[in-house]
């Protein structure tokens, strides 16, 4: 792990996204909350939040962070679902990994909840959208 002991804690935030593409019948089942396993969006939201809290257990050199907030939201696009995850902490290192893990696990949960309806679901573009705080300040994706 990188030694961050000399750094002062600052408020840090991160936003990340994941895209999930699927066929119309799966999209309709998720919209109507009639997927075979139940309400996929609520389940994916909880999974993303739980995953962010466990990031240091999943990413070997990530620092365990005291998360002040984690949020997971959804927006329907033409042929799929855009997942956005946010994370906030006051710490000596950033929360980019927590936001990206939350988005990725929420996307995997959508796949799991809808795979009986569409085996061809595609998870795309897990990426950092924005981060704030720390020595490097604010960064926004192009």
Q: Which is the catalytic residue, given 3, 32, 79, 112?
A: 112
> Can you say how many angstroms the Cα of residue 29 is from the centroid of all Cα atoms in its chain?
22
Phi then psi dihedrals of residue 46, to 5 deg: -65, -40
3 annotated active-site:
no
DSSP label of 8: P
DSSP, collapsed to helix, strand or coil, labels residue 15 as strand
Q: Which residues contact 6 (CB under 8 A, 6 or more apart)?
A: none
The residues annotated as belonging to the active site are: 112
């Amino acid at each position: 792990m990188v030694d961050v002991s000399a750094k002062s804690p600052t408020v840090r935030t991160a936003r990340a996204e994941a895209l999930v593409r699927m066929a119309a019948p799966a999209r309709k089942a998720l919209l109507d909350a009639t997927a075979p396993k139940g309400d996929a969006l609520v389940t994916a939201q909880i999974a993303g939040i739980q995953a962010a809290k466990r990031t240091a257990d999943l990413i070997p050199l990530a620092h365990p962070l005291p998360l002040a907030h984690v949020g997971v939201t959804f927006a329907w696009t033409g042929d799929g679902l855009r997942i956005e995850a946010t994370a906030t902490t006051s710490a000596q290192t950033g929360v980019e990994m927590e936001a990206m893990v939350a988005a990725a696990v929420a996307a995997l949960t959508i796949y799991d909840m809808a795979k009986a309806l569409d085996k061809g679901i595609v998870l795309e573009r897990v990426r950092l959208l924005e981060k704030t705080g720390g020595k490097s300040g604010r960064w926004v994706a192009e």
